[in-house]
Amino acid sequence: MSSRQKTYWRGFRDGAPFVLVVVPFGMLFGVVATEAGLNLAEVMGMTALVIAGASQFAAIALMQENAPVFIVLATALAVNLRMAMYSASLAPYIGGAPLWQRALAAYFMVDQSYACSIAEYERRPEMTIPERIAYYFGCMSPVCIPWYAATYIGAELGARIPPEFALDFAVPITFLAIIAPMMRTLAHVAAAAVSVAVSLALAFLPYNLWLMIAAVAAMATGAQVELWLQRRGRWS
């Protein structure tokens, strides 16, 4: 087995535990989307094109409220703005990969594959770019492929899934599992604290507008704290 193959399977192993939350998460989206009036083709089309559970849920919720299209799109974009920050932090590690590999990596970028990959890259700075790409796709495989399948199952079964299964537990558990290990710097903690505070303070706003404001405020806070720490480091 080549070095890249070994690295791929190491990534697959590291990403595999997320199946436990990705499957109920995907099934829940399939159920919610069909209950909102989307047919099977529309549900699967949205999943394949967006492949971002949080923004898909946000968009569906707003569509059920008959929110303006602009608000739906802006909210989904705000939820996914974190992907831009993910991309920026991964660029030093895989930015030298061929364009088609970077394009695939961008399409399959989800919270789980990013969290696993960036942690591995920081632990193993000696990895080559092909090994980093192999690890990234290894992490992605047990996350994205089951996401499609689970969404399909949820859309097909719909309301026939017993409520006692409590599929909605997967949403908070997924993000807690991803976010908690990443709270390693003051900037991370400050951004999280501001997002929580702003979300609670503005929860009364219609169409989930608090979500967009909280996302922007959190990113601005994290960036400012990073700049402050850099300036403090130069002065000391």
Write down the pLDDT at residue 80: 81
Judged against a pLDDT cut of 70, whether residue 108 lies above it is answered with yes
Q: Rounded CA gap, 64 and 66, in Å?
A: 5
Instruction: Assess whether 110 and 219 both reside in one domain.
Output: no
Regarding whether 106 and 39 lie in a shared domain, the answer is yes
Q: Which helix (H) or strand (E) holds 41?
A: helix 40-50
Say whether both 156 and 195 belong to one domain: no
> Which structural domain range is residue 192 located in?
184-236
139 and 226 share one domain: no
Decide: 139 and 116 in contact? Cβ < 8 Å. yes
- pLDDT tens digits for 144-193? 889 999 999 988 876 566 665 555 555 566 566 556 656 667 877 888 88
130 and 222 in a single domain? The answer is no
Q: How many domains does the chain have?
A: 2
Q: Are residues 164 and 190 in the same domain?
A: no
Looking at residue 65, the DSSP 8-state letter turns out to be: T
Phi, psi angles (nearest 5°) of residue 61 = -60, -40
The answer on 50 and 25 residing in a single domain is yes
The span from the CA of 105 to the CA of 88, in Å, is 13
Same domain membership, residue 217 and residue 110: no
* 124: confidence class by pLDDT, cuts 50, 70, 90: very high
Examine the domain organization and report whether 41 and 104 are in the same domain. Answer: yes
Q: Are residue 133 and residue 226 in the same domain, yes or no?
A: no
Q: At what angle do helices 129-157 and 40-50 cross, to 10 degrees?
A: 160
pTM for this model (two decimals): 0.73
Does the structure show a pLDDT above 70 at 222? Answer: yes
Please name the residues in contact with 209: beta carbons below 8 A apart, sequence gap of 6 or more: 71, 75, 202
Return d(Cα 236, Cα 186) in angstroms, integer. 17
End position of a domain, from candidates 160, 182, 204: 182
Residue 156: the pLDDT is 86
Better-scored residue on pLDDT, 189 or 132: 132
Block residue for tokens 């990895």: 127
